[in-house]
Amino acid sequence: MESGLEKLEKLPRAILAHTPTPIEHLPNLSVKIGGAALYVKRDDCTGLALGGNKARQLEYYVGDALSQDADTILITGAVQSNFVRAAAAAAARYGLTCHIQLEERVKSADALYRNSGNVLLNQLLGATIHSYPDGEDESGADLRVHEIADVLRTQGRRPYVIPLAPGHPPLGALGYVVAAQEIVSQLNVMEQSISEIVVASGSGHTHAGLLFGLRMLGSSIRVLGICVRRDSGAQALRIRARCREISELLEVQSRVTDADINLRDEFLGPGYGQLNSPTREAIKLAAHHEALLLDPVYTGKAFAGCLQRAQELDSQDTLLFVHTGGTPGIFAYGAQLLEGP
């Protein structure tokens, strides 16, 4: 019977990411914050159209699309979605047409949010943009994107829909099953032990993929997900479902237990894509002391959680923060980031 790693190697994959990405020490913040030592996994450096974690995930989606002879990539996400922007870039890289649906999840958005950052990049990358005005409605947005796919088929196109909701094969999570191997290998070479890995937890692909991959390798490193879209109860159900789906996809038994699913939601604030004071402070600290640029939607909130967790531990512990990118989002929030001290 094939192992999970053997099964993984046989799945279609389109190379997009510059890997391995580096692991770096954050010496200045480690001293300033106190508690656990801080390291960062620089997945903001994956290279595809300003990088980020989505490059790893899209390798398996685009590989699957190409294996099915698709000529169009179709995806839905928030107006400033990094996944959508990366999908548009991946499509351009492989000569595919791209249609994107932008969901109006942030109701108080200004003109800067609606026109800069990832929205600007989507236009530069040549994507056709559709709007979904009903906001935070995952099932409705998914239904609408499949309706767009049906229209494209009547026009003779061969669309491939990238599904992000649970219930679909989580091909994107496989990128982080692979990343788990990369991290373990790097830490071994560095002779560096890690107490915990901290990562933003949204769609669940990155969080679940890392956790599943670590346990599949026999690693007991704790993974802490910082919620950026829904509360910890709802997110735990999502991560559990993702891990089960990965297990089915790779045809191996999951070693992830309920006790392995660790989440915190106190940095979620008013909701998805809405900036709050702890996030703003974390973004400024990272920039001022380490020249590390974080975004307000994902990495800023996750790093706020990472800093708090570091202060709860002592100097013998070490945290590894996974920087999942999101750089274009910085420009969409403009003056909001500069408010306060």
Query: Do 100 and 47 lie in a common domain?
Result: no
**pLDDT value at residue 340:** 67
Query: Do 153 and 270 lie in a common domain?
Result: no
- Axis crossing angle, helix 277-290 with helix 299-312, rounded to the nearest 10: 80
Query: Do 157 and 294 lie in a common domain?
Result: no
CB 336 within 8 A of CB 213: no
> What residues are annotated to the active site?
81
Picking from 112, 129, 161, the residue at the C-terminal end of a domain is: 161
**pLDDT value at residue 164:** 76
Distance CA 292, CA 172 (A): 25
Q: Into how many domains does the chain fold?
A: 2
Query: Do 73 and 101 lie in a common domain?
Result: yes
How is residue 158 written in tokens?
Answer: 């061969």
**pLDDT value at residue 213:** 98
Query: Do 176 and 297 lie in a common domain?
Result: yes
Which regions of the chain are under pLDDT 50? 1
Residue matched to tokens 């400024």: 284
Show the beta-strand stretches assigned E in 110-175: 128-132, 159-161
Query: Do 30 and 132 lie in a common domain?
Result: no
**pLDDT value at residue 2:** 65
CATH number at residue 68: 3.40.50.1100
State how far the alpha carbon of 110 is from the alpha carbons of 81, 114, 208, 333, 334, in Å: 16, 6, 33, 9, 10
CB 185 within 8 A of CB 213: no
State how far the alpha carbon of 283 is from the alpha carbons of 278, 287, 334, 341, in Å: 9, 6, 13, 12
Residue matched to tokens 């939601």: 265
Distance CA 169, CA 57 (A): 12
**What pTM was computed for the model?**
0.95
State how far the alpha carbon of 24 is from the alpha carbons of 38, 164, 253, 287, 323, in Å: 9, 30, 33, 15, 11
Query: Do 72 and 11 lie in a common domain?
Result: no
Picking from 119, 140, 161, the residue at the C-terminal end of a domain is: 161
| CA 312 to centroid of chain Cα atoms | 25
**pLDDT value at residue 261:** 99
How is residue 185 written in tokens?
Answer: 């290998």
Query: Do 248 and 333 lie in a common domain?
Result: yes
Query: Do 212 and 283 lie in a common domain?
Result: yes
Cβ partners under 8 Å of residue 131, min gap 6 = 101, 102, 104
Picking from 161, 193, 213, the residue at the C-terminal end of a domain is: 161
Query: Do 181 and 322 lie in a common domain?
Result: yes
Query: Do 182 and 329 lie in a common domain?
Result: yes
Structural domain span for residue 273: 4-52+168-338
Show the beta-strand stretches assigned E in 16-117: 23-25, 37-42, 72-78, 97-103
State how far the alpha carbon of 100 is from the alpha carbons of 19, 87, 125, 129, 213, in Å: 26, 9, 11, 5, 30
**pLDDT value at residue 341:** 58
Query: Do 66 and 41 lie in a common domain?
Result: no
**Conformation bin of residue 39: beta by default, left when phi > 0, alpha when psi is -120 to 50:** beta
